[in-house]
Amino acid sequence: MQHRVVALVGRGQEMYPVTCASAVFGYHGTEIPQHYTFRLCAERPGLLPTTIGADILVGAGLEALATADTILIAGWCHGPRISPELGDAVLAAHTRGARIVAVCSGVFVPASLGLLDGRRAAVHWELVDELARHYPRVRADATVLYVDHGDLATAGASATTVDLCLNQVRREHGAALAMRIGRQLSAAPHREGGQRQFPALPTTGPVPDSLAPLLDWIITNLDRPLTLHDMAAESGMSPRTLNRHFAEQLGTSPGRWLLDRRLASTRAMLEETDLPVETIAKRVGLSSAVNLRRRFRDALATTPAAYRREFRA
């Protein structure tokens, strides 16, 4: 059975996160397996105004949440004013096992239901103070892109929706499918939840250029034994400056980012090919099967062989 994703929308709906989610969970043609369905519902169905200046017609009401496997709540909840009917429907869905995904101001729904008490949540920096006033038990984090607890995930900014949805696909159906969908959407290389919501700006001098061209170059050259000096030379920066830009813009180091990409490619090859581990190690730049197995176990607490068996099953 396909996984049912339902976006709970409201008046003044921001459409960007909704369309991002539908792009990830929607139809991708005959070449990509269809594991999800996507639909909209609203507390009060009918014509709803949106922030793009056009209304949307929503036919389903809160009853749609009773059969949802994932509920997306994005961008229309202005503070803690959540009706009892809406709260009861979301809480009932979560209690029976539905996953809740709250983006931007959607975080107020799970917070009002106590689902985030004592838990860390990615929150847009403009909402941190208001959330803290009403729900002080929520551990709001305005620095990261998203936080995924499995049953409940939060993203601080609308632009993070694709990353968060692809993360769900990767958790449920593997890195290979998530990478294929991401490539079809022309999405940027996968961003981990711990990356920063926005880069720190320098106090003097020009704003640093985007790291995107360098990241694309790294992915194209994963099979090479890349060093910090190689990456610095390609970017036209000194190693020290490159380290600083990675820390400011991605919240990680060049070496850590490179290793994460190599492990993601390893997972995709284990899922989709019968290549020996030694061959995969060379293709992703980890040099040997021994090194790949060690890195893989450290990161995922399992072996490449066990991982392959799990996804082949």
Considering the chain, what is the average pLDDT of its residues? 88
Question: Residue 221 corresponds to which tokens in the numbers above?
Answer: 């050259």
pLDDT at 186 over 90: no
Question: Has residue 207 got a pLDDT over 70?
Answer: no
pLDDT of amino acid 100: 97
Strand pairing report for 99-103 and 120-122: unpaired
- What is the per-residue pLDDT across 219-254, written as a single tens digit (0 to 9) for each? 899 999 999 999 999 999 999 999 988 887 777 899
Which residues are CB-neighbours of 185 under 8 A, at least 6 positions away? 23, 24, 162
Q: In percent, how much of the chain has pLDDT > 70?
A: 90
Q: Which of 54-68, 142-156, 191-205 has the highest mean pLDDT?
A: 54-68
Indicate if the pLDDT at residue 195 is higher than 70: no
Q: How confident is the model at residue 75 (pLDDT cuts 50, 70, 90)?
A: confident
Average pLDDT rounded to a whole number, residues 194-212: 47
Listed range (14-28, 208-222, 272-286, 294-308) with the worst mean pLDDT: 208-222
The per-residue pLDDT for 307 is 87
CA-to-CA dists, residue 100 to 8, 201, 230, 250, angstroms:
10, 33, 42, 26
What is the model's pLDDT at position 303? Answer: 92
Would you say the pTM of this structure is higher than 0.85?
Answer: no
**Per-residue model confidence (pLDDT) at position 126:** 86
- From residue 70, give the alpha-carbon distance in Å to each of 13, 96, 97, 165, 224: 19, 11, 9, 11, 40
Written as one letter, the residue type at 270 is L
d(CA 152, CA 279): 37
Q: How high is the pLDDT of residue 206? A: 36
Residue 194 pLDDT > 80, yes or no?
no
Write the CA distances from 232 to 143, 165, 218, integer angstroms. Answer: 26, 32, 11
What's the rounded Cα separation, in Å, for the pair 313 and 149? 25
Going by their DSSP bridges, the two strands 46-48 and 56-58 should be labelled as antiparallel
Q: Is 90 exceeded by the pLDDT of residue 1?
A: no
C-alpha gyration radius of the chain: 21
Q: Give the model's pLDDT for residue 208.
A: 44
Range 306-311 contact pairs with CB under 8 angstroms and sequence separation of 24 or more: 307/267, 307/270, 308/270, 308/271, 311/174, 311/270, 311/271
State mean pLDDT over 145-168: 91
